[in-house]
Amino acid sequence: MMGMEVSLKIRGTLAVLILGASFTGQRLSADDETQEDGPSPVLLQLAALPADTPAPVPAFAEIASEAGASDELDRLATIDTFMETPSTSSVVQTVSASGEASLEQRIAHLESLVGQLQYRRQNHLLDDLHAQLDQRSYGDVYFATEVSFLRPYLSGARSSSTSTGGKWIDPSYGTATRFMLGLRDETGLGLQVRYTGFNHGADLANVFGGGGFGVKLDSLEAEVTLRERFRRWDLDMGAGIRWGQFAITGDGVVTFPGRLTYKGIGPTFSLNGRRQLGNSPFSLLANFRGGLLLGEIHNTHPARGLAIGGVEDEIAFALENQLGLAWSRPVFNDSMMMEVRAVWETQFWLNETISDDVYGIGTNLGLSGPSVALELRY
């Protein structure tokens, strides 16, 4: 195919050159000597030229003259005769072979480049896949401990009616602890148990002239979890059951004496998301956890309109949120993954009876503050 294309190009070039010569007045005489058998000296000179040397126009005019061509058609026929001579065929074959060799070299070079690009891309994809598989392998067994420094917040009409402009207690932070243990298989499906405890006493505002106020909180959760990964995004979802209680205690100096406690059990769900920051070991994280508790209130001392004893069929809501930064790295010869988290945590515990100004203490319970966690995954 390559030889045929080269031959056609040479034929077309010779035809254009000869026709151009005729229009410029270069007429050939009819009584010139006719070409003898075999190629003429001019043809031999042309055949001896290198393959990439263009032939001059006078040479083709001489060829046509030696062949005895009297008009353009004869000259075109002379071109065919010229192309069929052994010397010319050798030139065409040389040009064809050279072009084919050059084309094959270029194709081989392009194939080499494509192969290199494919190899690099495959290695890049394999590296990403290995990194994801390594991260997933760390998630088989994990344990975390967390320490939070939380400040209680009280809200309600009664707290806002105090002479301090709605301030019940002096701002102070208490320590909350949290423990978490989980299992997860290679598909991302797992089980998790989580406990949170908080017990803090605060002084009432100075305007009351003394007195104290106590807050106690306990929560135990068991849930089924599912982890999904997409490039640098991680998403953890969970659903299960929660048992929880929160209590507010008065010392009787200003507030009511005794303790008002809510205990309940019900469904809970969680949603955790994180995004790795480039190729660094840092990630942004955010999580939300909510629970609906069905239980009862226990009162050890009359709290305004609430009698001593219990109030059943009470509903409470527990809401939690964290937002912050995580840092992780392999440890113990890459057999485990260690993660440190620093977040800001907020909790809300809501019950209508306790927050009622007549039958309760006129406030819901809120907690907020910084939290630090250490997690090990094997």
Instruction: Note the pLDDT of residue 58.
Output: 46
Query: Mean pLDDT over residues 201-224, rounded?
Result: 79
Please say whether the beta carbons of 335 and 378 come within 8 A: yes
C-alpha closest to that of 319 among 354, 352, 292, 284: 292
**Does the pLDDT of residue 349 top 50, yes or no?**
yes
As given in the structure block, the two tokens for residue 257 are 């004496």
Q: Coil, helix or strand for 9?
A: helix
3-state SS string over 94-148? Answer: HHHHHHHHHHHHHHHHHHHHHHHHHHHHHHHHHHHHHHHHHHHHCCCEEEEEEEE
Instruction: Note the pLDDT of residue 55.
Output: 47
Q: 34-43, long-range: CB within 8 Å, 24+ apart, which pairs?
A: 34/66, 34/67, 34/68, 35/66, 35/67, 35/68, 39/85, 39/86, 39/87, 40/66, 42/66, 43/82, 43/85, 43/87, 43/88
Domain ranges of the chain: 2-100, 138-377
User: What pTM was computed for the model?
Assistant: 0.61
Q: Of 24 and 283, which is predicted with more confidence?
A: 283
b/e code 294-332 from CB counts within 10 Å (16+ = b): ebebbbeeebeebeeeebeebebbbebbbebebebeeee
Separation of alpha carbons 264 and 162, rounded Å: 31
Query: Mean pLDDT over residues 157-174, rounded?
Result: 60
Q: Of 273 and 62, which is predicted with more confidence?
A: 273
C-alpha closest to that of 285 among 324, 247, 255: 324
pLDDT category, 42, cuts 50, 70, 90? Answer: very low
C-alpha torsion angle, residues 303, 297, 156, 269 (rounded to 10): 170
pLDDT category, 71, cuts 50, 70, 90? Answer: low
Query: Mean pLDDT over residues 50-58, rounded?
Result: 48
Instruction: Note the pLDDT of residue 7.
Output: 53
Q: Coil, helix or strand for 54?
A: coil
Query: Helices 86-137 and 72-84, interaxial angle, to 10°?
Result: 70
**Per-residue pLDDT tens for 96-143?**
556 666 788 888 888 888 877 777 666 666 666 555 555 444 458 999
**Per-residue pLDDT tens for 238-286?**
999 999 999 888 766 555 667 888 999 999 999 999 999 988 999 999 9
Instruction: Note the pLDDT of residue 167.
Output: 62
Q: Of 363 and 186, which is predicted with more confidence?
A: 186
Query: Helices 57-66 and 2-23, interaxial angle, to 10°?
Result: 90
CATH of domain 138-377: 2.40.128.100
**Per-residue pLDDT tens for 296-338?**
988 876 555 667 778 889 999 999 999 999 999 999 888 899 9
For the chain, first and last CA: distance in Å?
Answer: 65
Q: Could you identify the residue written with the tokens 């094997």?
A: 378
